[in-house]
Amino acid sequence: MARTAYHHGDLQQQAHQQALDIVREHGDSAISLRALARQLGVSAPALYRHFADRESLLAELAISGFEWLRQRLLSVDQSDSRQALIGIGLAYVAFAQQEPNLYRLMFGGRVLPQGVHPRLDEAGKNAFQVLEDTIASASECGYLKPMPLALMTATAWSLVHGLSLLTIDGHLPAADTESHLAEGVTSLLLDGAIATPPNSKNNEDTP
Amino acid sequence: MARTAYHHGDLQQQAHQQALDIVREHGDSAISLRALARQLGVSAPALYRHFADRESLLAELAISGFEWLRQRLLSVDQSDSRQALIGIGLAYVAFAQQEPNLYRLMFGGRVLPQGVHPRLDEAGKNAFQVLEDTIASASECGYLKPMPLALMTATAWSLVHGLSLLTIDGHLPAADTESHLAEGVTSLLLDGAIATPPNSKNNEDTP
DNA sequence: TATTTAAGTTAACGGTGTTAACATTGGCAT
DNA sequence: ATGCCAATGTTAACACCGTTAACTTAAATA
A124 and A33 inside one domain: no
pLDDT, residue A201, reads: 43
Judgement on whether residues B127 and B185 belong to the same structural domain of the protein: yes
pLDDT tens sequence across A169-193: 999 976 555 668 999 999 999 988 8
Which chain C nucleotides are covered by protein, judged by CB under 7 A? Answer: 6-12, 15-21, 24-27
Please say whether the beta carbons of B153 and B131 come within 8 A. yes
A6 vs A49, more confident: A49
The pLDDT of B45-49, averaged and rounded, is 98
Query: Can you name the residues that pair with A144 across neighbouring β-strands?
Result: B194
Contact A185, A155 (CB under 8 A): no
For B29, the domain range is 13-49
Q: Are A135 and A149 in contact (CB under 8 A)?
A: yes
How confident is the model over A34-71, as pLDDT tens digits? Answer: 999 999 999 999 999 999 999 999 999 999 999 999 99
Can you tell me whether residue B144 is helix, strand or coil? strand
pLDDT tier for residue A106 given thresholds of 50, 70 and 90: very high
Using CA atoms, how far residue B58 sits from A168, B41, B102, B181, in Å, is: 20, 20, 10, 31
The predicted structure's pLDDT at residue A203: 43
Please name the residue of chain B whose CA is at the shortest distance from the CA of residue A158. B162
Residue A88 shares a structural domain with residue A113: yes
Q: Which nucleotide is nearest to A4 (CA to C1')?
A: D26
Largest distance between two CA atoms of chain B: 77
Q: Do B167 and B123 belong to one domain?
A: yes
The structural domain count of chain A equals 2
B75 & B136 share domain: yes
The DSSP string of chain A is ----SS--SSTTHHHHHHHHHHHHHH-GGG--HHHHHHHTTS-GGGGGGT-SSHHHHHHHHHHHHHHHHHHHHHTS--SSHHHHHHHHHHHHHHHHHHSHHHHHHHT-SSSS-TTS-HHHHHHHHHHHHHHHHHHHHHHHTT-BPS--HHHHHHHHHHHHHHHHHHHHTT-S--STTHHHHHHHHHHHHHH-SBSS-TTSS--SS--
Predicted confidence at residue A184, as pLDDT, reads 92
If asked whether residues A165 and A73 sit together in one domain, one would say yes
Q: Are residues A78 and A147 in the same domain?
A: yes
Per-residue model confidence (pLDDT) at position B108:
85
Is A198 inside a domain boundary? no
CA distance A153 to A132: 6
Buried b (16+ CB within 10 A) or exposed e, B34-55: eebbeebebeeebbeeebeebe
Q: Contacts of strand C, CB cut-off 7 Å? A: A 1, 6-9, 11, 37, 41-46, 49-50; B 1-2, 4-7, 31-35, 44-45, 48, 53-55
Q: What is the pLDDT of residues A66-94, one digit of tens each?
A: 999 999 999 999 999 999 999 999 999 99
Lowest pLDDT segment from A129-138, B10-19, B80-89, B172-181: B172-181
Question: Which pLDDT does position B207 carry in this prediction?
Answer: 35
A166 contacts on B by Cβ (under 8 Å): 154, 157-158, 161
Q: What is the pLDDT of residue B12?
A: 96
C-alpha–C-alpha distance, residues A59 and A108, integer Å: 11
B197 part of a folded domain = no
pLDDT, residue A202, reads: 43
**Is B8 within a domain?**
no
> Which has the closest alpha carbon to A185: B151, B149, B85, B195?
B151
Our CA-based measurement puts residue B48 at a distance from the nearest CA of chain A, in whole angstroms, of: 23
CA-CA distance, A34 to A55, in Å (whole number)? 14
Task: State whether the Cα torsion B40-B45-B46-B47 is positive or negative.
Answer: positive
Phi/psi for B31 (5° steps) reads -85, 115
Are B22 and B59 members of one domain? Answer: no
Q: Give the CA-to-C1' distance from B53 to C30 in angstroms.
A: 38
**A39 domain-assigned:** yes
The pLDDT value given to residue A200: 43
Residue B205 has pLDDT above 50, yes or no: no
In a domain, residue A129? The reply is yes
Average pLDDT, chain B: 90
The stretch B135-147 carries a mean pLDDT of: 94
Q: Give the pLDDT of residue B3.
A: 65
pLDDT of A196 reads: 62
Q: Average of pLDDT values for B34-49? A: 97
pLDDT at site A111 = 82
Return the CATH number at A24: 1.10.10
**B193 vs A31, higher pLDDT:** A31
Mean of the pLDDT values across residues B188-205? 64
Residues A18 and A105 in one domain: no
User: Is B155 close to A107, i.e. CB distance below 8 A?
Assistant: no
pLDDT at residue number A176: 52
CA distance A34 to B123: 38
The answer to whether position B25 is within a domain reads yes
CATH number of the domain enclosing A87: 1.10.357.10
Q: Does the residue A201 lie in any domain?
A: no
Residues A120 and A150 in one domain: yes
Residue B190 has pLDDT above 90, yes or no: yes
Nearest CA in chain A to B144: A194
- Considering the domain boundaries, does residue B28 fall inside one? yes
Same domain, A19 and A101: no
Residue A144 has phi, psi (to 5 degrees) of -95, 155
Q: Which of A141-145, B83-87, B110-114 has the lowest mean pLDDT?
A: B110-114
Under 8 Å between Cβ of B131 and B73:
yes
Could you tell me what percent of chain A has a pLDDT over 90? 79
Sort out which chain B residues have CB atoms less than 8 A from A169's CB and list them: 107, 109, 113-114
Nearest to B69 by CA among B97, B47, B109: B97
Same domain, B64 and B122: yes
CA-wise closest residue to B103 among B1, B19, B28, B18: B28
